[in-house]
A and B are shown apart, each in its own frame.
Chain A
């Protein structure tokens, strides 16, 4: 069981929008700005797509956006494309006695 809770899977058709949630507590997501999202195609290096809740690194499509409400962070992907099919996981700073918490990962399927 991961410290941050994500749905195991989400799906959508090309062109549609989806949202992936990442639920934590007041010791991590709820009280800190350091929430990030990663795209991972198995066998390849994970890639950061959102950092500090809602910032996109250079080169990341505007179709990816992040937000936070209370203890839950969200990743929105609009205009789904086939190449978006991947595993997405969240990471948060935590004030507990470990370095960071990871979400369990969400498999995105583009139908």
Chain B
């Protein structure tokens, strides 16, 4: 069975750092593109970051570019999100999500599996 389990969330002060992990089972991170998606309280889901199957390509939402870094350790089957210079507006539940892409064009089709999420609260 495919499972994604996030961890590492918590309370952090503005300007601080936090590292989220997403442990996956039932598939290999070398075979699938992965993403982080977040949902702030009372707001819509927001895509945060993408990493390619080989780990060489990353994309970021403008709101986190330069502050967040997505990475993975395929041997440990773990996806990470390093979050630095955190702001109050980064407060959200962070989900990892596996993506299915178009076989020909390589463009996004849909997210086929998600984790339950990990809550990050940025507050003094």
Contacts and interface: CB of A to CB of B under 8 A. Distances in A.
B111 to A, nearest CB: 6
Given A98-B61, A99-B35, A105-B45, A45 B95 contact: yes
A104 B44 contact: yes
Ordered nearest first, which 4 A-B pairs have the shortest CB separation? A36-B110, A51-B110, A2-B44, A104-B44
B95 A48 contact: no
Interface string B96-113: 010010100001111111
Contacts of B107: 34, 93
Interface in A85-100: 89, 91, 93, 98-100
Given A46-B95, A93-B107, A102 B112 contact: no
B4 interface: yes
Contacts of A45: 4, 95, 113-117
Interface residues of A, number: 23
A44 interface: yes
Interface string B1-31: 0001000000000000000000000000000
Interface of B: 4, 35, 37, 44-47, 50, 59, 61-62, 95, 97, 100, 102, 107-117
A81 B71 CA distance: 41
A14 interface: no
Contacts of A100: 47, 108
B36 to A, nearest CB: 11
Interface string A34-58: 1010100001111110011000010
A24 interface: no
Interface in A10-26: none
Contacts of A38: 111, 114
